[in-house]
Structure 1
Amino acid sequence: MQLSPNTRQSLAGRLAYPLRQFAAYEPSSGILLVATAMAALAWANVEALPSYAGFWNTELAIRLGDWSLSLSVHDWIDDAVMTVFFLQISLEVKHEFARGSLSSWHTAVLPLAAAVGGMLVPVAIYLAFNAKGDAATGWAVPMATDVAFAIALLSLLGRRVPVGLRALLLALAVIDDIGTILVIALFYSSKIAAGPLLAAGGGLLLVWGMRSAGVRSFLPYWLAGAAIWLAMEKSGVHPTVAGVLLGLMTPLSVPRHRKGRSREAAARIPHLLRSQDTPNWRLKRELATAERGALAPLDILRYQLEPWVLYLIMPLFALANAGVELGAADLSADGNFRIFAGVALGLLVGKPLGILAFAWLAKQLVNASLPAGVSWPAMVGLGLLAGVGFTVALFLTSLAFPGQSAAVVARLGILAGSLAAAVIGLAILWWTLRVQSQPGSVRGDRTSTTDSNNHRNEELEA
Structure 2
Amino acid sequence: MLLIAGVNGRQSAHDKLYWAEWGILYFFAAVPHNPRPIMKITRLFKDFFQSERASGYVLIGTTIISLLLANLLIGQDFVDFFHQKVGFDGPGVHLKLSVEHWINDGLMTIFFLLVGLEIEREVYIGELSSIRNASLPLFAALGGMVFPFLIHLAFNYGLPTQDGGGIPMATDIAFAIGILSLGKRVPYALKVFLTAFAIIDDLGAILVIAFFYTKSLQLLYLLGALGFWALAFLCNRLKVYRIWVYVLLGIGLWYCMLQSGVHATLAGVLLAFAMPFGNGDEQSLSYRVQHALHYPVAFIVLPIFALANTGIIISNTWFSDLQNPNSLGIMLGLVAGKPIGIMAFCGMAVAFGWSRLPGEVTWKHLLAAGILGGIGFTMSIFITLLAFDDATHTNESKMAILAASTIASVLGLAVLSWAGKNQPNTLMPAEDIE
**Take 2:34 and 2:326, find their aligned partners in 1: how far apart are those partners?**
49
- Aligned to 1:229, what secondary structure does the other structure show? helix
**Take 1:130 and 1:12, find their aligned partners in 2: how far apart are those partners?**
63
Is 1:303 aligned with 2:300?
A: no
**Take 1:100 and 1:417, find their aligned partners in 2: how far apart are those partners?**
31
The corresponding residue for 2:352 is 365
The corresponding residue for 2:9 is none
- Aligned to 1:34, what secondary structure does the other structure show? helix
Pick the structure with greater CA Rg.
Answer: 1
Residue by residue, what CA displacement relative to the aligned partner does 1:397-452 show, whole Å, maximum 9, x if unpaired?
111112431111111110111111110110111121024x2xxxxxxxxxxx6xx9
- Which of 303, 308, 314 aligns to 1:315? It is 303
Counterpart of 2:221, as a letter, is P
The corresponding residue for 2:56 is 30
Is 1:381 aligned with 2:361?
A: no
Residue by residue, what CA displacement relative to the aligned partner does 1:74-130 show, whole Å, maximum 9, x if unpaired?
000001110011111011111111111111111111111111001100011111101
CA contact (8 A) 1:328 1:408 kept: no
CA contact (8 A) 1:40 1:322 kept: yes
- Aligned to 1:68, what secondary structure does the other structure show? strand
Counterpart of 2:252, as a letter, is A
- Which of 417, 430, 434 aligns to 1:457? It is 430
Is 1:8 aligned with 2:38?
A: no
Structure 1 residues 421, 454: closer, same or farther in 2, change over 3 A? closer
Is 1:143 aligned with 2:169?
A: yes
Structure 1 residues 315, 5: closer, same or farther in 2, change over 3 A? closer
- Aligned to 1:51, what secondary structure does the other structure show? helix
The corresponding residue for 2:242 is 217
Structure 1 residues 216, 45: closer, same or farther in 2, change over 3 A? same
Post-superposition offset of 1:18: 4.3
**Take 2:382 and 2:227, find their aligned partners in 1: how far apart are those partners?**
28
CA contact (8 A) 1:331 1:409 kept: no
Pairwise CA RMSD: 2.6
Is 1:200 aligned with 2:222?
A: no
Residue by residue, what CA displacement relative to the aligned partner does 1:332-388 show, whole Å, maximum 9, x if unpaired?
57x971111110111100000000000000011234210001111111111111111
After superposing the two structures, state which structure 1 stretch, 317-326 or 292-301, moved more.
292-301
Counterpart of 1:308, as a letter, is P
Post-superposition offset of 1:331: 6.1
After superposing the two structures, state which structure 1 stretch, 364-373 or 232-241, moved more.
364-373
How do residues 369-448 of structure 1 correspond to structure 2 at under 5 angstroms?
369-435=356-422, 437=423
Is 1:343 aligned with 2:330?
A: yes
The corresponding residue for 1:98 is 124
Post-superposition offset of 1:210: 2.0
- Runs of 5+ consecutive residues of structure 2 not aligned to the other structure: 1-25
**Take 1:22 and 1:188, find their aligned partners in 2: how far apart are those partners?**
37
**Take 1:321 and 1:364, find their aligned partners in 2: how far apart are those partners?**
42
Structure 1 residues 457, 62: closer, same or farther in 2, change over 3 A? same
- Aligned to 1:60, what secondary structure does the other structure show? strand
CA contact (8 A) 1:162 1:456 kept: no
CA contact (8 A) 1:384 1:424 kept: yes
**Take 1:178 and 1:384, find their aligned partners in 2: how far apart are those partners?**
19
What TM-score, normalized to structure 2? 0.87
CA contact (8 A) 2:241 2:276 kept: no
Post-superposition offset of 1:49: 5.0
Counterpart of 2:151, as a letter, is I
Structure 1 residues 120, 328: closer, same or farther in 2, change over 3 A? farther
**Take 2:408 and 2:294, find their aligned partners in 1: how far apart are those partners?**
26
How do residues 162-201 of structure 1 correspond to structure 2 at under 5 angstroms?
162-201=187-226
- Aligned to 1:62, what secondary structure does the other structure show? strand
The corresponding residue for 2:7 is none
Counterpart of 2:142, as a letter, is V
- Aligned to 1:71, what secondary structure does the other structure show? strand
**Take 1:182 and 1:329, find their aligned partners in 2: how far apart are those partners?**
35
Structure 1 residues 11, 185: closer, same or farther in 2, change over 3 A? farther
How do residues 187-266 of structure 1 correspond to structure 2 at under 5 angstroms?
187-253=212-278
Structure 1 residues 455, 310: closer, same or farther in 2, change over 3 A? closer
Counterpart of 1:96, as a letter, is E
- Aligned to 1:69, what secondary structure does the other structure show? strand
- Aligned to 2:315, what secondary structure does the other structure show? helix
Structure 1 residues 109, 52: closer, same or farther in 2, change over 3 A? same
Post-superposition offset of 1:10: 7.5
Counterpart of 2:290, as a letter, is R
Structure 1 residues 11, 318: closer, same or farther in 2, change over 3 A? farther
What TM-score, normalized to structure 1? 0.82
Post-superposition offset of 1:33: 0.1
Structure 1 residues 423, 413: closer, same or farther in 2, change over 3 A? same
CA contact (8 A) 2:215 2:262 kept: yes
- Which of 339, 347, 362 aligns to 1:352? It is 339
CA contact (8 A) 1:147 1:173 kept: yes
**How many residue pairs are counted as aligned between the two chains?**
404
**Take 1:57 and 1:454, find their aligned partners in 2: how far apart are those partners?**
42
CA contact (8 A) 1:94 1:248 kept: yes
After superposing the two structures, state which structure 1 stretch, 315-324 or 360-369, moved more.
360-369
